[in-house]
Amino acid sequence: MRCSFKLIVAFSLLSATALAQRKVADKIVAIIESDIITLSELEEKANPLLDTLKGLPEKEFHERYNAVLKRVLEEAISEKLIDEAIVENRQQLNISDAEIDQAINEVQRLNNLSREQLQSALYSQGITWSEYREQIKTQMERSRLMQMKVQSKIQFNEEELEQLCRDKTAAEKQYQTCAAHILFAPQSSTEQQAIQKQAESIRQELLKGADFATYADKYSADKASQGGALGCFSSGEMVQEFEHAAAKLKPGEISPLVQTQFGFHLIKVFKRIEQGAIDCKKPQEYQRYQQEYFQNAMQSQTLLWLNELREKSHVEVFL
């Protein structure tokens, strides 16, 4: 984002209060290289989280409001640093038109849409076909950059896997959780808010007694799971966010919207099956924790890489 500013003098139209409000709204909260983040832009990004603070006592509201803004600002700075890294590494990333076509075909397959239906859905959101292709290209560049800079540095260590297995099983009984889900997979940030609203509306209908399997077949982007059924899974077999959300549910309950790397999920747990003691020295036991091990390693390595990017970039924060 490259910004130019024009100062329009219109004292007859703007009161001193309105000018002060506009000045606050346009306050620069961060500079990243030649780019900026404004307070109004930051608040827009943080809106879904800020909405959850409504109704809190004033002191607690302001404390949590500031904490949310700082967290979202750090995420926004990281996003812009990654965008800069994509530009710097674009030649190496080398995403072809054929790869973009393949990714779009996969989106159509997962959502059971024809090309015309997908284009119509995009146009209804104000997104042209060329803009959509560019969004897909950017997502693919980001994914390939993460593979180059982060994922390639991760190696599985059997001793660490065994230890993770012991840590996970030592203090708790082991269960298999049997569950189903409805997956919502927005393809752009523009589409995300609309999908979150749709998902919350569907959740309310499910809470009133609508059939979960029927709604999963109708709305879920995971067309491979009939009725949304995932079968039964043990600890470490699902991504962390999904597993933690499912663990909080009693059989028959439906989760709030859960975000993972795959999109947004509504989860329904059907039953839990208690398991016996686990021998973490057996590969078939500790290998069940590979997904969690990999996620932890990805988070640690991503943080290291982002810190490296930040150290060699010009970043100023004013919040």
pLDDT at residue 23, rounded to an integer: 42
**Torsion sign across C-alpha atoms 223, 296, 199, 213:** positive
Per-residue pLDDT reduced to its tens digit, 172-231: 667 889 999 999 988 777 788 888 889 999 999 999 999 999 999 999 999 889 999 999
Closest residue by Cα to residue 198 from 214, 185, 217, 209: 185
Q: What angle do CA 73, 244, 82 make, to 5 degrees?
A: 30
Neighbours of 55 (CB within 10 A): 6
Cα–Cα dist 284/282, whole Å:
5
Pick the closest to residue 220 from 255, 192, 273, 184 (CA basis). Answer: 184
Which pLDDT band, with edges at 50, 70 and 90, does 277 fall under? Answer: low
Q: Which of 9-13, 70-74, 77-81, 263-267 has the lowest mean pLDDT?
A: 9-13
Residue 96 DSSP SS3: coil
Token pair, residue 181, equals 């889900």
**pLDDT tens per residue across span 52-88:** 888 889 899 999 999 999 999 999 999 999 999 999 9
For 286-317, write each residue's pLDDT tens digit: 887 888 888 889 999 999 999 999 999 999 99
- State the Cα–Cα distance between residues 192 and 47, nearest whole angstrom: 13
